[in-house]
Amino acid sequence: MYVKVAIDLALDRLFTYEVPVELCKEVKVGQLLRVPFGHRDARGFALEVRAEACAPGADYKIKPILGIADPAPFFSPEMLKLVRWISEYTCSPIESCLKAAVPAAVLKPNARPKELLFVEPCDGDAQQLTAYQKELLENIRRVGGGWMQPLCREFSTTPATLRALAAKGAVAIAPRAQRRDPLAGRSVLPSRPLALNEMQRAALERIVGADHPVLLHGVTGSGKTEVYLQAIARELEGGRGAIVLVPEISLTPQTVRRFAGRFGDRVAVLHSALSDGERYDEWHRIRTGEARVVVGPRSAVFAPVKDLGLIVVDEEHDTSYKQEETPRYNARDVAVMRGAFEGCRVVLGSATPSLETWLNAQQGKYALAAMSARVAGHPMPEVHLVNLEEEAEAYASAPIFSKFLLDAIAERMRRGEQTILFLNRRGYSRVLECKECGCVMTCPNCSVAYTYHSADSCLRCHVCGGWTPPPISCPDCGAHDFSYTGVGTQRAEQALRKCFPHARILRMDADSTSRKNSHDDLLSKFRAREADILIGTQMIAKGLDFPNVTLVGVLNADASRNMPDFRAAERTFQLIAQVSGRAGRAEKPGEVFIQTFHPDDPVILAAADAAFDRFAAAELQDRKAAGLPPYTKFATALFRARDGTVALRWADLYAKSLARYPGLAVSEAVPPALERAEGWFRYQVQIRAAAAKRIAAAWRWIAQARPVPKDVRATLDIDAINVL
């Protein structure tokens, strides 16, 4: 018997090994095997088992495997099929895809759960106990036993005393695997299913009855989560499991609590902040079937749930579902494929679906369930557009906060209600500019302007993380006068404090949340009404549900509208609709102020009206006319080298060759908005075709015919989302 193994070295090929007779019965597809590789021992996944070696050792001798690292397969045959599909579709080495699908922590041999001593009271009466021992035993019985160390601390005793109790048969002491529970110490209140309204019930029936993926298009606050919960409950009743994908940013304790509150211990949580031990334990609880519902970000789409019945992709339009490193998969699309391979239901939910998903629903590839109103008759918020042009005329320069917005905030302060302010930039202000010659301080390694951070008075590069103190004089003209242009969250916060000296203000951006849990802490504070105003970046745009927030302000809607990205309109619509969705989610009605220099822009107008259908119809028409997604498949190829001319030469050569491949529309090689990053020069080629397969085939052809030299990095990103 022979086995084809993918070895963890990113070689993008499978190696054939022989299986010794005594292991023939044990070796299974999907297992992790130990194999000899060169002079080393290596580990690799068994991908195929066959009776014959298909290409008997032409250039190498077939060696036998050394053993089986773990008898339980890490991949089911369906999961292997899925991993292979990702490898094909994204043009990525199979090993990188296998790696993406199993957390590294699970493969580390030392991540196994620690065994600690557990003290358990025995039944029946123990003989000859001293008064002190009797009292101790009673205490241990009362708490139902526990881990040795904490127990000693709690009852002010020693391990020796407990061992003496054990010797008399009063308690049993034995090592036990301690589960590292990411939810430990968090209070989770059990919740019961709510009585669904008419629209929710119709949506649930559509989901349960569908044999296609379902797009659940529900406005913010329409109760999508309750529909997911009840759809999952049905799967559990049928003995099946479920996966819920949420954007990493909205994987807050609040979200987790909603699922844990309904399904208790049957919920496993996977997210990036878990320790290796927690991840190992959660993954194994899923694999053994102890946990039936998995909540996590994009990588949770690979969770080894037994008898998977349903995958929910919440906020399916969210860009965090796209992995921005090899393999560059989109978890939403992987969910749809997994659903097809495993015959399980898939629900894609959003108030602002991606146009890719929307078109699929329009064309009948997906079923559509729509929920067009908020629950319990709560109205959508009233949206006002504020013309910054007029404000600028009235005040000589455009203010960060218009008078309308300030009045509205003051009103909330009076009423004891809360405000969320959204600004799509972090840092004190974006750039440091010489007043004399207008030159902007820029990172020497990356072609981006430095951002000034007032907390430690330094200039930081948001690409490479490099920093420098602000210069004393302009490096170009020697002048000493600088101005800080643009507005970041820190500067907005300061301006706000001037306007409202008594307001309690929280700021949330990448700088204020770099500590572990700081994200959660900030939100808990805001929820507990320990602050009046929350000001932040896109972090606060999604998924938050604060009943006391009745005002939302978008400080500058044009920042995303003017991005050099064909999805700028879509992003702007999503952003405005999502932040607006944070206002007035409970009894009190909400109000939204959107500040813009272009109050007559149809995209901003549609967003203000929450008119998704209108926006989508117009935008689809434009995309169709321009031959852009979702009507075509779009990919970018990026060429990087330390030497700019070398990067350009290869980008150019690939662009010209690919342009000759039938069925592709290929751009010239151009420097992207980010021309240099971390000392690497970058050139980009944009590729479009009717099908992703064609782009992948063309890429394989050129990569084989003209492989790039060692000093050049070439990467293909199919269905690229980040085009800058």
Site of interaction with ligand ADP (CB under 6 A): 194-197, 200, 218, 220-226, 375-376, 545, 585
Please choose which of Zn ion, ligand ADP, none residue 301 contacts, taking the beta carbon within 5 to 8 angstroms, the exact cut-off set by kind. Answer: none
Residue 226 or 719: the one with the smaller Cβ distance to ligand ADP is 226
Question: Which phi and psi angles does 287 have, rounded to 5°?
Answer: -65, -35
411 burial (CB, 10 Å; 0-12 / 13-18 / 19+) is middle
C-beta of residue 412 within 8 angstroms of C-beta of residue 499:
no
CB of 199 to ligand ADP, least distance (A): 9
Nearer to ligand ADP, 197 or 715 (CB): 197
Which residues are within 8 A (CB) of 458 and not within 5 positions of it... i.e. 6 or more apart? 452, 467, 468, 469, 470
Question: Which entry of Zn ion, ligand ADP, none binds 536, CB below 5 to 8 A by partner kind?
Answer: none
Reading the block at residue 638, the tokens are 């990026």
Q: What is the DSSP string of 253-307?
A: HHHHHHHHHHHGGGEEE--TTS-HHHHHHHHHHHHTTS--EEEESGGGGG---TT
The token duo for 431 is 């750039």
> Which of 121, 427 has the CB closer to Zn ion?
427
30 binding partner (options ligand ADP, Zn ion, none; Cβ < 5 to 8 Å by kind): none
State in angstroms the smallest separation of the CB of 275 from ligand ADP.
29
Q: Is 540 left (phi over 0), alpha (psi -120 to 50) or beta?
A: alpha
CB nearer to Zn ion: pick between 446 and 577: 446
Determine the Cα–Cα distance for residues 688 and 609; give it in Å rounded to an integer: 33
Beta carbon nearer to Zn ion, 254 or 442: 442
**Minimum distance of ligand ADP from residue 229's CB (angstroms):** 9
Based on CB atoms, which residue is closest to Zn ion, 341 or 467?
467
CB of 675 to Zn ion, least distance (A): 12
Please, what is the minimum distance in Å from the beta carbon of residue 500 to Zn ion? 36
User: Which of Zn ion, ligand ADP, none lies near 224, with the C-beta cut-off 5 to 8 A by kind?
Assistant: ligand ADP
DSSP 232: H
The half-sphere exposure of 363 on its side-chain side, counting CA atoms within 13 A, is 10
Between residues 24 and 376, which has the closer beta carbon with respect to ligand ADP? 376
Which C-beta is closer to ligand ADP: that of 380 or that of 409? 380
Q: Is the CB of 3 or the CB of 540 nearer to ligand ADP? A: 540
Minimum CB–partner distance for residue 279 and ligand ADP (Å): 27
CB count within 10 Å of CB 237 equals: 9
Q: Which residues contact 613 (CB under 8 A, 6 or more apart)?
A: none
Binding partner of 196, given Zn ion, ligand ADP, none, CB within 5-8 angstroms per partner class: ligand ADP
User: What is the CB neighbour count within 10 angstroms for residue 414?
Assistant: 8
Please, what is the minimum distance in Å from the beta carbon of residue 225 to ligand ADP?
3
Neighbours of 188 (CB within 10 A): 17
Token readout for 145 is 């036993």
Burial of 571 (C-beta count, 10 Å sphere; 0-12/13-18/19+)? buried
User: Using CB under 5 A as the criterion, which residues of the chain lie in contact with Zn ion when the complex forms?
Assistant: 443, 445-446, 461, 463-464, 466
| Rounded Cα–Cα distance for residues 599 and 424 (Å) | 18
CB of 501: closest distance to Zn ion in angstroms? 37
Q: Which does 466 bind (CB under 5 to 8 A by kind): ligand ADP, Zn ion, none?
A: Zn ion
CA dist 269 and 279 (Å) reads: 8
Taking the complex as a whole, how short is the minimal distance between the CB of residue 460 and Zn ion, in angstroms? 9
> In the bound complex, what is the minimum distance in angstroms from residue 233's beta carbon to ligand ADP?
14
* Closest CA relative to residue 632, chosen from 668, 664, 670: 664
Q: Cβ-count burial of 76 within 10 angstroms (0-12 exposed, 13-18 middle, 19+ buried)?
A: middle
Which CB, 161 or 197, lies closer to ligand ADP?
Answer: 197
464 binds, among Zn ion, ligand ADP, none (CB under 5 to 8 A by kind): Zn ion
221 binds, among Zn ion, ligand ADP, none (CB under 5 to 8 A by kind): ligand ADP
